[in-house]
Structure 1
């Protein structure tokens, strides 16, 4: 029986390092096969997941020998941390390993949404030449509003600042003397939404942040502002956002995360035909480079706990 069970995709070099010293089962289909996962967890000491595997009481009860849950990412909303703590199971996220990938995603999305021209390839291919309607806007001189100002948001802030943007941020939990405030003005949530030409979300999903962006808060944003959510699904009321985009009360949106993932065709239908809208499948933090960094970090931490560092 496997000592380490990996239920979602991981860099193969990191998997090989784990398998060199410990019996390792790597099957990215296990996230969707609870029955098979149950059989494999009986003897496992380590479970490594991404965001699809729900590490709840039911799953934890299947692994009586579990010592470690490794998260190939940073969000922990799919892991019952309290239940893990009660069972003395160490939860290890890959903190910091995908910050750069998410920051680049946000900056790229902001450029695409403001400029707009890259969204019209099919129109040009059809023989049209819409130069005036594709004129778009520049990033420089605009205001980047960051809702949440943790490590990833700070990476976004430095890049936006270097591109000539003004930075405002809302984060009631970040100390007033934190170095990040050197380039960002500390404002309220209302002010961030009202001032932002680009509003990027960087908060965890909690009861307090669920549907933080809703019909009311969307109405307080500039009518040509763009919204980017590469944080967590559920922070945005997707129905309200789609309505605002359809009514042209918002300049555009990029969503990498959704309330229900994978996004179903039925749920996605509300965004069909909406101009200046980018939908991606929870991929902001996943590049070839970040996958290697995340995987290596988790492999290192798991081997530290189990022994047999390779």
Structure 2
């Protein structure tokens, strides 16, 4: 029997009983905190054969505390919180769940676009305060939408937008221009996208800062930015200035720098509440996405513990 540590809050919280699936395969699920604080996790890591990890950090120190660990299954797509080199050096496989939450996040991105364009959260707040004054919005079909990063989620956004009828631009250095056209968008460089788009939606990987400096200075006046990707793509202080100066008309995001510790974010200033929408990392929180991420991560863990290759490896076991 293997011990599988699960530190994602939503693991087995959908329609599929993944705890029972693990038991049927001869394994036990033990729960740990999503924040991954080492002093709390260390006793659980000491007995774990596998780790289904949420968004918290997975460091070399965590791995040193887990002498029996054979696989880390990232519950999601991004692996930037995992020390891949440390895992590889210890012969620990790392997997993830590509595409598991793509539809959910694409849905949420379009929802944030409509909310920002039509001032929906601000309208709700006004009515609750007895103010039925109207703020005029804009129609999605009349906009030029720029998609930065045209992978699974960006492509899903384009498919959903096709029913509204906007002009769709896409910037992605990893896709040929012809492929972008086949998928329903006009290929452009990112600087042209910023100059041209009325609404910019970010689906690029983290580890880079896009909405800052020269790119932000060149943005089309009155543009709206949607970020369901990573907080480090955006310089929040510069975006707050752009909102105050009227350069940006709105910012809608499913993430902030520091997230739950981000109460001091300049984007949460009360005077920006009518132009800023923030949701608490709920883009991937649908029953279907939770089941997909949980099933994919658990299936790979079961495969590794049985001596088989996982379906979605991020790295291969290091050579001895």
| Alpha-carbon distance in 1 for matches of 2:178, 2:151 | 14
Shift in CA distance, 92/32, structure 1 to aligned 2, threshold 3 Å: closer
Task: Please provide the CA RMSD for this pair.
Answer: 2.1
In structure 2, the partner of 1:217 is 215
CA shift for structure 1 position 289: 2.2
Q: Secondary structure at the match of 1:23?
A: strand
**Quick check: 139-148 or 283-292, which moved more?**
283-292
Shift, 1:31, TM fit? 2.9
Q: What is the CA-CA distance between 1:181 and the residue it aligns to?
A: 4.2
The one of 85, 88, 94 aligned to 2:88: 85
Assess, with a 3 A threshold, how the Cα gap between structure 1 residues 2 and 182 changes in structure 2: closer, same or farther. closer
Match of 1:37 in 2: 41
Which moves more between the two structures, 283-292 or 184-193?
283-292
Which consecutive unaligned segments of at least 5 residues does structure 1 have? none
Tell me the residue number matched to 1:4. 4
Give 1:114 shift. Answer: 0.8
Instruction: Provide the C-alpha distance between the structure 1 equivalents of 2:182 and 2:249, rounded to a whole number of angstroms.
Output: 28
Q: Following the alignment from structure 1 to structure 2, what is the Cα–Cα distance between the partners of residues 57 and 104?
A: 36
Matched, 1:24 2:29: yes
1:168-214 residue CA offsets vs partner (Å, 9 max, x unmatched): 111111134436644111111111111111101111112xx2x2211
Residue of structure 2 in register with 1:157 after alignment: 158
In 2, Cα distance between equivalents of 1:269 and 1:100: 27
Three-state SS of the structure 1 residue aligned to 2:251 is strand
Gaps of 5+ in 2: 309-320
Aligned to 1:280: 279
- Distance, in Å, in 2 between the alignment partners of 1:204 and 1:57 is 23
Q: Residue 73 of structure 1: which of 72, 76, 96 is its match?
A: 76
CA contact (8 A) 2:105 2:153 kept: yes
How far apart, CA to CA, are the structure 1 residues paired with 2:23 and 2:181?
40
2:174 counterpart of 1:173: yes
- Does the residue aligned with 2:69 lie in a helix, a strand or coil? coil
TM-score by length of 2: 0.88
Mapped contact 1:154–1:180 kept (Cα < 8 A): no
Distance 1:185 1:62 in 2: 49
Is contact 1:198-1:225 (8 Å) kept?
yes
Q: Is the 8 A contact 1:30 1:37 kept in 2?
A: no
Deviation per residue, 1:273-299 (Å, 9 max, x gap): 212211112221222221122111211
- Partner residue of 2:139? 138
CA distance in 1, matches of 2:181, 2:86: 34
Instruction: Look up the match of 2:316.
Output: none
Normalising by structure 1, we get a TM-score of 0.90
Judge conservation of contact 1:2–1:40 (CA < 8 Å) in 2. Answer: no
- Paired position in structure 2 for 1:128: 131
Are the structure 2 counterparts of residues 256 and 189 from structure 1 closer, same or farther at C-alpha, using a change threshold of 3 Å? same
